[in-house]
Every structure is written in structure tokens, then in C-alpha cells.
Amino acid sequence: MPQHAGGSLPDALFSADSVRRIDQYVIEQLGVDGFDLMQSAARAAFRRLALRWPGTETLLVLCGAGNNGGDGYLIAANAARHGLTVHCVAVAPTEKLNGDARKAWQKATADGVKVRELAEVSEAELDSLIENAGLIVDAMLGTGASGSPREPFASVIARCNRSGLPTLAVDVPSGLNATTGAAKGEVVQASMTVTFIGRKAGLYTGHGAAACGDTVFESLSTAMKAGDIGENRESGESPIAMLQSWKSVQGWLPRRPANAHKGRFGHVLVVAGDRGFGGAGLLAAEAAARSGAGLVSLATRPEHVTAALARCPSVMVHGLTHGSELPSLLDAATVVVCGPGMGQSAWGQQMLQQVVESGKPRVLDADALNLLSSRVAVPANNQILTPHPGEAARLLNCLVPEIEADRLAAANKLQSLYGGAVLLKGAGTVISAGEAAVDIAEGSNPGMATGGMGDVLSGVIGALYAQINESPAQAATLGAVVHLEAASRASVEKGYMGLIATDVIDALPQVFREAESIIGRREEEE
């Protein structure tokens, strides 16, 4: 994906297998002792624990059999040395430990940590340990685990989640696929996840966006003698995604010179709003107007014209009864946003047909995608598709759980079929443009789980695409991040439950104003 000069660069995200190979490379090629690396990880995790929960007195550490469990034993040892009361339970029998994990268990017991085997702890005792703990450390299942957790892990995870206690996940919440962000069974709901060596893509999308809590990265660069692995390519491992934040994309926004005029910033045509769904088109059009488009037109049902003009007189509104009326409007457009509230009747089918035949750069959303799923896929490099998981499933003729099982793969498959850029909505939105690494928009907002948010997103993307017309991928990523940032700003005032789509539109000017100020300061410094 494109990057920009100045500001922050996106963070590289790796598969779990790649991070394990990087870890192996550090040990075998850079000569770093594996146990020393494990101790560095444990110290980093405990430091984060102490900073986040400084008043914690009692700790329950749950350990598995692999190196993730080894990290847990060393965290328990660190906590004991700092005077905390530590209860440590071996969810996997300690007799199964080997290598560095066994060394970690031995060090913990030598430092006074009493490790109890889960098989020797009754359910009532385990419940008591959880109830009396101030904090849980989850070091049960690491990046090597896949599929649904087996017993006894599944039951222990469920007990931890029911407790409501703050939980620190070590490297990855137990039960989460660190590559895809999928969770096939019970998964720890962490308050914070401290991850090491390389950022894992699954922590930032899908279930990972909810299960990880605050995700903190510790590169262990001092121990590795190699710097931040995100910038170190000596291991030969390539990222599968780039984590894009508001800071990393601000420099993509188009500059506005003093002699700017509306003709320089594109004309967005929104084709949307069949009978009963006029609000969808209006939301998309108003969002486009608030996102810098020079001109915005709305082609909708005649019944919606008066309401649209009353709500947003800066939008040019046209009432259309048949697709044959659309070509003249398409001729004047720079980018077309097609689909919000468009329906799947003859009216919507005619509109989509005209939009596709025009060959204009386009953003296809909602019913345009539902209609597209019944057609033979025809790739177009100048289009952006913005499906939610249900729409993506229809486009790929599969079920939603298959989409959520690997969101990165689903976005890539859609892009290979349809070309251009594909933006798969959801927590940790994924944007694919057919390159080796997809983009993932950092963050999520539960307040956005309400009607109209996707319509606003399509309008934002359409306006940005009209201004950055050479790159649908860049417009899609920028639009996703701007949309999320505006929702975050609106949530500060409105909260999550009361958030509606127009609140996000109202917050857009504040987001762009901040970016303009930052860009201006950078240009002065340069």
C-alpha cells in the first residue's frame, strides 16, 4: 500500500508462522540465547503490568506447556521478586515442559513461586483463586495453537472471562488465531495484550480487535541485538499486512493551495435511495460533501428530492425514475458512489447497469454489491468495493463464518475476482489491492454498529477518491481510517449506545481541520 513522506509510518504485521521463524532466526543466526530472550519478554510484560495496574497485590498466573507458558512462569517470578502475592497454576502438566519453558518453570520455583498442577486443584479452589486475584495473567496458549481450545483450557478460559477480572494476555489471548484474528471456541477477553518480536496480524482484526484489549508491542530489540524487527528484513520474513493509523495516513490528504477552486477536487455522484431508503443516499452525499469533494450530486427517487435539499442544500439532487436518465449525470462525474439504499428492484438494477457501463471510477456498496453477486465477475481496476461480511459472503458464494475465519484471505480473494480495491468492513477493517500485504485500519468502535455507518463510509471514500484519483487503494484506506477517527471523536461526546451516522458526519470537519493544521506545521518546518 502507498506510504507518505513525513508523519508516522504504518506498522508491519506478520503471520504467526513468520514471527516464529523470526524468533528462530534471532536465536540461531544472531546468537541470542533463547532463554535470555524469554526473560526479556517476561520483564517487558511485567513492566507493562506494573504500569497499567500499579495497585495490584495478588496475581493469578495460568501457564501452558510451550514457550508462552515459559513466559508466564518468568512473569510469576518477576512478580514474586517485587513482593506481589503470586498464585501460579500449571494448566498443562509441568512434566510436559521442555527446553526453555522447563528452565522458566525451574527458575520460578527457585524464586519461591509455588506452582500448582491444575489436576490437583478442585473446581472450587480454582474459582476461589480467581475470585481472590486482583489480576489474571494468561500464558496458556500461544501463537502455535489453532482451532478451538481443548479441555481443560476451554473451561479455564470460560472461568476467567466470567470473573470480569482484568487480564493480561501474554503474546496472544489464549484461543485466538494470531494470524487471522479468528476464534473458533472460547478465547480470553484480555484487558491488555503484550506481544513480542513481531506484531501479529490477527491481534488487530476480527475477534482479535475485541479480545486483545489494549495491544502493546515489545520488540525486545535490546535482547535481539537487531533493532525493531518491523524494519529489519535480514530474517527474510515479509509482513502480510500494514497497520494504518490516523497518524500514518494524514499525509495522504490532498493539499489545498490558496488559489484552489471546486473544479480541482472532483465531482462525486451518489446513485442511491430507492423508495423507503432515501436516507442512505443522503448520508453518503452529505459525507462526501463534508470530505472535501468539490461538487456532490445525488441521483435518487423523485420522492426524496425535497427532503434531501432541505437537509443538505449544498448537494445537487436529481429525481430519477429510470436508468436512461442517468448517463448525462455520469458524464459530469469524477467518481460514482453507487448502492446505499438502492434496492434490488428494476430501478436499482438499471442504475447499477448504467454505472458499470460508464466505466467511471466507482465505489460500490450495499445493494450494488448484492446485485453484483448475481453477475459474472468482471474485474475493474478503477473500482472500490466496500462489503460487510454478509455481502462478502454473497460475493464469494460462501457463509459468513468462512469470511470471518480469515478476513485477510477473503479480502484478497474478492480483490482477485473484482480488481481495484476491496475494503472488508468490521473491527480491524481490511483493505486489499492485490499487493503482498493488505492494509488494516487500526482500531474499532462498537458505536458504529448501527444503521447508516456504511453509507457515510462510502461517501467519505468517494470524496477522497475524487481527490486522489490515481489510487483507489489509497482512497479506501484513507477513508476507512478517517471514518473511524471521526466516529471516535463523536463517541467522546455521544458515547457508544447513542452514536448515529450523522454524528460521524458532524465530526468529519474536526478531523480534517486537525490534519490540515498538522500538515501546515510540517510544511513550515520543511
- pLDDT, one tens digit per residue, over 17-40 is 999 999 999 999 889 999 999 999
- For residue 395, give every residue at least 6 positions away whose Cβ sits within 8 Å of its Cβ, in sequence order, or none: 369, 372, 373, 385, 387, 414, 417, 418
Q: What angle do CA 321, 455, 13 make, to 5 degrees?
A: 145
Is 323 labeled as ligand-binding? Answer: no
Cis status of the peptide bond prior to 254, with omega within 30 of 0: no
Beta bridge partners, 195, equal 217
- For residue 317, give every residue at least 6 positions away whose Cβ sits within 8 Å of its Cβ, in sequence order, or none: 285, 297, 298, 300, 304, 305, 308, 309
Confidence at residue 5, expressed as pLDDT on a 0 to 100 scale: 40
* Span 235-266, pLDDT tens digits: 789 999 999 999 999 989 988 888 999 999 99
Is 476 labeled as ligand-binding? Answer: no
Quote the pTM value. Answer: 0.94
Q: Is 200 left (phi over 0), alpha (psi -120 to 50) or beta?
A: beta
Yes or no: say if 333 and 469 are a contact pair by the CB < 8 Å rule.
no
Is 171 labeled as ligand-binding? Answer: yes
Confidence at residue 230, expressed as pLDDT on a 0 to 100 scale: 45
Domains 15-238 and 257-426+446-469 are alike in CATH topology: no
Question: Is the predicted pLDDT of residue 211 greater than 90, yes or no?
Answer: yes
Confidence at residue 521, expressed as pLDDT on a 0 to 100 scale: 58
Is 142 labeled as ligand-binding? Answer: yes
Phi, psi for 244 (deg, rounded to 5) = -105, 125
CA distances from 289 to 270, 298, 299, 459 (A): 11, 11, 15, 8
Mean pLDDT of 303-326: 96
Is 281 labeled as ligand-binding? Answer: no
Confidence at residue 436, expressed as pLDDT on a 0 to 100 scale: 86
Is 486 labeled as ligand-binding? Answer: no
Instruction: Report the C-alpha gap between 435 and 1 in whole angstroms.
Output: 7
Confidence at residue 226, expressed as pLDDT on a 0 to 100 scale: 52
Confidence at residue 4, expressed as pLDDT on a 0 to 100 scale: 42
Is 215 labeled as ligand-binding? Answer: no
Is 280 labeled as ligand-binding? Answer: yes
Yes or no: say if 156 and 80 are a contact pair by the CB < 8 Å rule.
no
Is 147 labeled as ligand-binding? Answer: yes
- Give buried/exposed letters for 502-523 (b at 16+ CB in 10 A, else e): bbbbbbbeebbeebeebbeeee
Question: Is the predicted pLDDT of residue 174 greater than 60, yes or no?
Answer: yes
Is 127 labeled as ligand-binding? Answer: no
Instruction: Report the C-alpha gap between 229 and 227 in whole angstroms.
Output: 6
Instruction: Report the C-alpha gap between 213 and 190 in whole angstroms.
Output: 5
Yes or no: say if 254 and 519 are a contact pair by the CB < 8 Å rule.
no
> Percentage of the chain with pLDDT > 90?
88
Confidence at residue 9, expressed as pLDDT on a 0 to 100 scale: 81
Is 427 labeled as ligand-binding? Answer: yes
Place of cell 520483564: 43
* Residue 271, all three cell numbers: 446513485
Is 428 labeled as ligand-binding? Answer: yes
Is 420 labeled as ligand-binding? Answer: no
Question: Is the predicted pLDDT of residue 65 greater than 70, yes or no?
Answer: yes
* Span 82-108, pLDDT tens digits: 999 999 999 999 999 999 999 999 999
Instruction: Report the C-alpha gap between 70 and 96 in whole angstroms.
Output: 12
Mean pLDDT of 452-474: 95
Mean pLDDT of 48-77: 97
Mean pLDDT of 118-140: 96
CATH 3.40.50.1400 for domain 15-238, yes or no, is: no
Is 178 labeled as ligand-binding? Answer: no
Is 429 labeled as ligand-binding? Answer: yes
Is 388 labeled as ligand-binding? Answer: yes
Is 144 labeled as ligand-binding? Answer: yes
Question: Is the predicted pLDDT of residue 526 greater than 90, yes or no?
Answer: no
Mean pLDDT of 334-363: 97
Confidence at residue 144, expressed as pLDDT on a 0 to 100 scale: 87
Question: Is the predicted pLDDT of residue 234 greater than 90, yes or no?
Answer: no
Is 373 labeled as ligand-binding? Answer: no
Confidence at residue 525, expressed as pLDDT on a 0 to 100 scale: 53
Confidence at residue 223, expressed as pLDDT on a 0 to 100 scale: 66
Confidence at residue 523, expressed as pLDDT on a 0 to 100 scale: 55
Question: Is the predicted pLDDT of residue 2 greater than 50, yes or no?
Answer: no
CATH 3.40.1190.20 for domain 257-426+446-469, yes or no, is: yes
One-letter amino acid for residue 328 of the chain: S
Is 6 labeled as ligand-binding? Answer: no
Yes or no: say if 108 and 77 are a contact pair by the CB < 8 Å rule.
yes
Instruction: Report the C-alpha gap between 99 and 102 in whole angstroms.
Output: 5
Is 445 labeled as ligand-binding? Answer: no
| Poorest-pLDDT segment among 196-210, 398-412, 474-488, 510-524 | 510-524
Mean pLDDT of 268-285: 97
Instruction: Give the max Cα distance, the chain.
Output: 81
Instruction: Report the C-alpha gap between 162 and 141 in whole angstroms.
Output: 19
Please report, to the nearest 10 degrees, the dihedral formed by the alpha carbons of residues 118, 120, 126, 132 taken in order. Answer: -110
Instruction: Report the C-alpha gap between 472 and 361 in whole angstroms.
Output: 9
Is 148 labeled as ligand-binding? Answer: yes
Is 17 labeled as ligand-binding? Answer: no
> Percentage of the chain with pLDDT > 70?
94
One-letter amino acid for residue 197 of the chain: I
Question: Is the predicted pLDDT of residue 6 greater than 80, yes or no?
Answer: no
* Residue 292, all three cell numbers: 472535501
Is 138 labeled as ligand-binding? Answer: yes
The structural domains of the chain, with segments of one domain joined by +, span: 15-238, 257-426+446-469
Question: Is the predicted pLDDT of residue 449 greater than 90, yes or no?
Answer: yes
Instruction: Report the C-alpha gap between 275 and 321 in whole angstroms.
Output: 11
Q: Is the dihedral of CA 382, 379, 392, 177 positive or negative?
A: negative
| Poorest-pLDDT segment among 27-31, 45-49, 55-59, 80-84 | 27-31
